[in-house]
Structure 1
């Protein structure tokens, strides 16, 4: 029968009389046309899927195959977007990015948001502001063939990220080896006593200089900031003796600082006293000069009187001089003609004070404790003219 259908026939061939049913094979025109990408992608999926794809196609409602080729541009676009978004990265403020393209140095990027082609470029962040620290220690031989254990710390910073990463294999390890070499060279040219006592600063400065000379040819992109000489210890057998020597050295420095502090404290006081003495001497000088000028002025005024009556003026000057001299002495001289009596007024005053404290207030005063009265010679009893002439001549 023509109406009978073969259940095992392929889709679209159940009714052989229907010629207009769609088929899987495209119609070939006489002219050559470009290949259909969707059809090629669908055929590829069919080959990969095998029987599963055919079973899914048979189980579809309309019996037509699913065309996956239309999703290919979308998938490609999504892949491009994901690839582009994965290339964004951020470099911190204290870092610089070393960009390598296929393993070779390409450029240095600055802090901020940047972009790189994924799977093509690789970015290595390097901190250029961090102060790094490297410690080295070991037992070393000195110039006088003694063993000493020293410790030293080197502080450095990365100055050139590209040279830091590509000049040497490992810049930090190379710097450690250079530091150990420089320290051994310096220790080997110094005696143990100097290393442990008075030339510790020399070890630091010499090691810093030698280290810079060693790493200069390698151009590792490192900048040595400081070198600290931590400690130096002698062998245990002589450690106590060297500790005493170091302590004595420290005491010496402490005494020197104390003496300098004392000198700084006393120097302003001494300068002040010297200035005060200079000012007092200047004032005394001015006073003496002014007194001399006053005396000159006074004698100039007395000169006319002296020319008029020289004897009277001589007596007057003599009396004034004796009053001025006797007012400053505790002894009184009484001129009794050919003899002169000296009364010890100071002893009489002391005896009088002692007896006043011991004796009752009503006790009579002795003639010895009575205070003598100083009488100056007058014109009625003038001194001999020979003595006066001797004084002024």
Structure 2
């Protein structure tokens, strides 16, 4: 299209001259920027609860860097930081929505983790928590592709195995501590076998309940079991009070009888020995021994008889009242007395 000569011409615009930049300045600026970036990439900080592993050209250098300021080769080394001193936690069957004084939990949508079959073909809703630490950073990063997911799968498999070996009553009541201990042991064995680099610190059963539709019936069963346990404990307490007492009394009677038997035997032996000694003396001097025995017997018997008055039986008109030692005693003449 041709331009009409009658149209006005546009004004001419004069641009200011562009200053010329020396090429050496550009080079030095680029070098300075590269050095600054390289310096920022060569220093990294490891927190007190962390350890770091450095890969150089994709290969582990063989060192685990401790907390503090560390250096690396920029654009060549790659750093992985892991919280090896922190206790980590995995929850199963629930999730913590809001921690605090009144912690809020969420269970909806996690039933596939907690519902499991017991050994007696009942269903239990088992919720548990696993606390662990990263023991070997290298194994945790490079021996297993997804260590956390693998660890969760192993924990769930172990718990289902342990619960499946026990009855629902054991899982819900008396066997909870045993279930937790056995599951922790098996889980640690799996971690060592798969070289996952994890140390299982604690496995705690958070909550174990029957499914909601049958929970009232299970609660009644638990109350009956608790009542039975209470009565059994009460009976054992009564047994522990009565039986030791009876045993003590029986032991006392036995010891008393043994003591009495020993006393009788010793007395019998003493009497026999005395009789034999007297008999030997009697054989030597019968009349003397007979007289001595008679006198000893009379000497032993007379004090037991009290005060006695010996009178002639033929004495007439004797007043039978005599004052002896200030007391009034009635004395009757004994026929044939001396």
- Structure 2 match to 1:141: 117
Alpha carbons 2:49, 2:67 under 8 Å: kept: no
Q: In the TM superposition, what is the alpha-carbon distance from 1:157 to its structure 2 partner?
A: 1.8
Indicate the SS of the match to 1:52: coil
Given that 1:94 and 1:128 are in contact with CA atoms closer than 8 Å, whether structure 2 keeps it comes out as yes
Encode CA deviations 1:304-338: one digit per residue, 9 max, x unaligned: 378225377358548857988x99xxxxxxxxxxx
Looking at both structures, which has the greater relative contact order when contacts are Cα pairs under 8 Å and sequence separation is at least 6?
A: 2
The CA distance in 1 between the partners of 2:53 and 2:219, in whole Å, is 50
Change (3 A) 1:170 1:141: same
Residue aligning to 2:87: 131
Q: 1:179 aligns with which of 151, 155, 175?
A: 155
The structure with more radius of gyration: 1
- Structure 2 unpaired stretches of 5+: 1-15, 94-113, 307-327
Q: Deviations over 1:41-96 (max 9, x none)?
A: xxxxxxxxx94335x9xxxxxxxxx8966994x99589658844763444345432
The normalised TM-score by structure 1 is: 0.51
Inter-partner Cα distance in structure 2 for 1:76 and 1:218: 48
Report the counterpart of residue 98 of structure 1 in structure 2: 53
Q: CA separation of 1:104/1:143 partners in 2, compared to 1, >3 Å: closer, same or farther?
A: same
How far 1:136 sits from its partner (Å)? Answer: 1.0
Q: How many residues align?
A: 275
Q: Secondary structure at the match of 1:157?
A: strand
Show the 5 A alignment for 1:271-350.
Answer: 291-292=267-268, 295=271, 299=275, 302-303=278-279, 304=281, 307-308=286-287, 310=290, 313=293, 317=297, 320=300
Q: Which moved more, 1:140-149 or 1:276-285?
A: 276-285
Look up the match of 2:212.
Answer: 236
Q: For residues 222 and 211 of structure 1, what CA distance do their matches in structure 2 show?
A: 10
Gaps spanning 5+ residues in structure 1: where?
Answer: 1-49, 57-65, 328-370, 382-393
Aligned residue number for residue 121 of structure 1: 77
Structure 1 residue 223, shift from structure 2 partner: 1.9
